[in-house]
Amino acid sequence: MHRRKPLLAVALVVALGSALATGASAQNAAAAEETPESLPDFKGRDETFGFCAGCHSFKVVGRQGMDRPRWDQTLTFMTEKHNMPAPDPETRALLLDYLVQAYPAKPSSGWVSPFAPKQ
């Protein structure tokens, strides 16, 4: 009985590793299929794709829905914490214009107290 436990543990580790590798491969394949043409068509699309898609899927970007100041903070965060190349001021403005137009701020979908005063 004791011999089965190590064998079961090894089988579990192998199965988990295989599942994780398959998931990562599928995610990388999905990201590899993205092209600038798959994004909303506004000025700055190609440049924005070039800055963002090198590190993550554009699905991550599309879910954000932020206003210009938050997009600006995010670009700063990406350059300072994740080594994204810092865009020059003109390119940064182009990226922000694109992000605000293609992925505008979304209303908060958080919990709202039923006892809060009506606005």
Judge whether 103 and 64 are in contact, CB under 8 Å. Answer: yes
Pick the CATH number of 36-108 from 3.90.1640.10, 3.40.50.450, 1.10.10.10, 1.10.760.10: 1.10.760.10
Structure token digits, residue 80: 């300072």
What pLDDT shows up at residue 26?
43
Q: What percent of the chain shows pLDDT beyond 70?
A: 63
What letters, b where the CB count within 10 A reaches 16 and e where it falls short, cover 26-55?
A: eeeeeeeeeeeeebeeeebbeebbebbbee
CA distance 90 to 69: 16
10 or 109: which leads in pLDDT: 109
What pLDDT shows up at residue 107?
78
Structural domain boundaries in the chain:
1-33, 36-108
pLDDT in tens, 52-96: 998 888 888 988 889 999 999 999 999 999 999 999 999 999 999
pLDDT in tens, 13-63: 444 455 444 444 444 444 568 999 999 999 999 999 999 998 888 888 988
99 or 33: which leads in pLDDT: 99
50 or 1: which leads in pLDDT: 50
Cα 91 from chain centroid (whole Å):
20
